[in-house]
Structure 1
Amino acid sequence: MSENRFENGLKITAFTALFDLEVLNRGSDFDTALLTITDVNRPGLQFHDFYDYFDPRRLQVIGKAEVTYLKSLTPERRRKCFDDLFLYDIPALVISRGLDCFPECLESAREHEKTLLRTQETTVDFTSHTIEYLNRELAPCVTRHGVLLDIYGEGVMITGDSGVGKSESAIELIMRGHRLVADDAVELRRISNQLIGTAPEVIRHYIELRGIGVIDVRQLFGMRAIKVESQLDLVVHFEQWDQSKFYDRLGIEDHFTEILDVQVPIITIPVRPGRNLASIVEVAAMNNRHRKFGFNAAQELARKVDQRADAGSRRQM
């Protein structure tokens, strides 16, 4: 986890540095305040004394519209608008477009010990960039053991017990031109009902091969062999071949696993000597893409078999 990211939020200090914000006033909680939700608020209604449904956890942003309205007020009324806002435990107030800060705003921020920031971006650009960044940074996250690769544009995570052959298959897939996203630990974030996978920073681009050790895929195979992140489209689970277990040979039924409340297709590949696992994973990725576009080979075969059986029955009548 990033040192700027707490389990329940993002530090205002980190946010200020990332967005290159000018600090007009450091609040008493500047070093400890957190952004905990992904939305922002423009307090136009609040300046009209409407605080119903006001969520103080949101980052507050004022732009040209709010500033134009505030200019029409008397200094006393302006001061009251900011005093009322700063009575709430807001993480910070940001002034966009590099607009001048009202003296009443600065005085109130100092008195209430609230953080006051300024950006040169337009209000729309700043709010959209902020929401996009917070949606990613504060997204629900889970770490899963496996190898995540980009195969023909499909994000495929190979899972299974240690030593079953995940990393060995991944190396062969990389040598075939596919790209590594993460090995051993895959960080998955749910963003807009999609799972986005990446590798923890410390082990990014590294892969472990028993008998050889740790290798740097980027240095060994070049930039074409790596990818920073990928959407998770398919889980391929490796397990040792069990003679007593029935394995699906047609694939008519779809199977799913749930990760962060998102349903992800999953297939189980039995592992035994002589099976080319990399080729099987490659075909599984292509087949999964075909299914997303509405083509299911197993269902098509079943349909043809049914048609042939029906035709035979009619001829016998």
Structure 2
Amino acid sequence: MADAKLKDLKILHREKLSVRDFFCHYGKDLQMVLCSPEEDLASYIAESGIHRPGLAMAGYTAVYSSQQIQVVGHTEWNYLESIGPEARQKVFERLSVFHAPMWVVTHDQTPHKELREMCLKLHIPLFFTTLHTYEFNKLSQRILEEYFAPHAIIHGSLVDVYGIGMLYVGDSNVGKSECVLDLVESGHRMVADDVVHISHVGNCIVGRPDPLIRHHMEIRGVGILDIRSMFGIHAIRKVKKIEVIVELQPWRQDVSYDRTGLNELQESIMGVSIPKVIIPVAPGKNLTVISEVIAMNALMKMNGQNVAQDFNETLMQKIKAKAKGEYSDDLLQVDPQHWSPYE
């Protein structure tokens, strides 16, 4: 069953990121300029945090996060400027016992000579950037969090339906790809088909396509389809938060399916609880319309309106009123001056 497969996911972790890869892929966006020899880019980032070493420069190194990217912001740079060359030399002699993966000076400020010498001696990459400290830290932190986030691979399909990320799971040949194809044809956006790479970023699960498959889809009897080329750029997304899990099951007469929506199912993926809907698949069933209704219902719940609970409360009030003898026919509540059976 699909739920068993979701519970038995093999969780993967990336242990390190090459500074060379970090610089080559994101250096332009982060406006980074290399101040070290290119061969020094062989070091590795092993933690996702960004550290500003102000306290370490002042002498307190007991809790110095030296394994993180070291960022010299406007405050740290001005402190180094104020203490003079001799004190700066002592600062970096003290910090030279710690081997950080890289140093970055923000605000387009020139790295001090003493910092350059330490980095050159220890073969630590040194950069400066025109970005402000907050901007650089925010962008770098997001990159590193996503890279080092726990991740896994799911056999399923992910679609953006009215802004709701819907992950379709189920056994092979149950109709996941056909349902996704129909949704795309109806104007919704495909993220991934057949193979979905998921990551636990922050407090949510994010899905993206397989790097090789990307936005291709296999339809049995037809072959491989390129959704982007066929339907246009507006028919795809590169990444989407998973907000609803839809499990497609072949319809069975001996199985009882939820008919009220009061028994809300939840599925835990990497510790994150996600609403789940089980849809029995039978010939003639319009899964596209049902999917759109699921997405709209999820949107209503996000805005504080739970139709199933509201209907149940109204029904219980009617039952209690009838038990007390206070029930009256709804037809008697109609104003005859504003109603006609022929309208």
Question: Which residue is equivalent to 2:7?
Answer: none
Encode CA deviations 1:255-276: one digit per residue, 9 max, x unaligned.
1101121110001111122211
User: Partner letter of residue 256 of structure 1?
Assistant: Q
User: Partner letter of residue 16 of structure 2?
Assistant: G
| Distance in 2 between residues matched to 1:229 and 1:112, nearest whole Å | 39
Deviation of 1:29 after TM superposition, in Å, equals 6.2
Mapping of residues 133-282 of structure 1, within 5 Å? 133-282=143-292
Scaled by the length of structure 1, what TM-score is found?
0.92
The answer on whether the counterparts of 1:28 and 1:114 sit within 8 Å (CA) in structure 2 is: no
SS in structure 2 opposite 1:308?
helix
Question: Which residue is equivalent to 1:82?
Answer: 92
Distance 1:295 1:123, change over 3 A: closer
Deviation of 1:225 after TM superposition, in Å, equals 1.2
Mapping of residues 84-99 of structure 1, within 5 Å? 84-99=94-109
Encode CA deviations 1:5-47: one digit per residue, 9 max, x unaligned.
x82132111122222432222498631x322333211111111
2:25 counterpart of 1:23 = no
User: Partner letter of residue 19 of structure 1?
Assistant: G
| Distance in 2 between residues matched to 1:301 and 1:22, nearest whole Å | 61
Encode CA deviations 1:72-114: one digit per residue, 9 max, x unaligned.
3342321121122221121011122332232222222222332
CA RMSD of superposed structures (Å): 2.0
2:62 counterpart of 1:52 = yes
User: Partner letter of residue 174 of structure 2?
Assistant: V
Distance 1:305 1:64, change over 3 A: closer
Deviation of 1:172 after TM superposition, in Å, equals 0.9
The answer on whether the counterparts of 1:27 and 1:113 sit within 8 Å (CA) in structure 2 is: no
Distance 1:103 1:241, change over 3 A: same
User: Partner letter of residue 22 of structure 2?
Assistant: F
The answer on whether the counterparts of 1:86 and 1:114 sit within 8 Å (CA) in structure 2 is: no
Scaled by the length of structure 2, what TM-score is found?
0.85
| Distance in 1 between residues matched to 2:173 and 2:154, nearest whole Å | 16
Distance 1:125 1:304, change over 3 A: closer
User: Partner letter of residue 113 of structure 1?
Assistant: H
2:313 counterpart of 1:303 = yes
The answer on whether the counterparts of 2:110 and 2:128 sit within 8 Å (CA) in structure 1 is: no
SS in structure 2 opposite 1:266?
strand
Distance 1:316 1:73, change over 3 A: closer
Deviation of 1:304 after TM superposition, in Å, equals 2.0
Question: Which residue is equivalent to 1:14?
Answer: 21
The answer on whether the counterparts of 1:26 and 1:114 sit within 8 Å (CA) in structure 2 is: no
SS in structure 2 opposite 1:287?
helix
| Distance in 2 between residues matched to 1:172 and 1:301, nearest whole Å | 31
User: Partner letter of residue 119 of structure 2?
Assistant: A
SS in structure 2 opposite 1:204?
coil
SS in structure 1 opposite 2:168?
strand
User: Partner letter of residue 147 of structure 2?
Assistant: E
The answer on whether the counterparts of 1:150 and 1:181 sit within 8 Å (CA) in structure 2 is: yes
The answer on whether the counterparts of 2:192 and 2:214 sit within 8 Å (CA) in structure 1 is: yes
Encode CA deviations 1:125-159: one digit per residue, 9 max, x unaligned.
22222112222222222221111111111111111
Mapping of residues 47-126 of structure 1, within 5 Å? 47-126=57-136
> More displaced, 122-131 or 177-186?
122-131
Distance 1:100 1:295, change over 3 A: closer
Structure 2's unaligned 5+ residue stretches are 1-12, 328-343
SS in structure 2 opposite 1:70?
helix
Structure 1's unaligned 5+ residue stretches are 1-5
User: Partner letter of residue 231 of structure 2?
Assistant: F
Question: Which residue is equivalent to 1:283?
Answer: 293
User: Partner letter of residue 35 of structure 2?
Assistant: L
User: Partner letter of residue 145 of structure 1?
Assistant: H
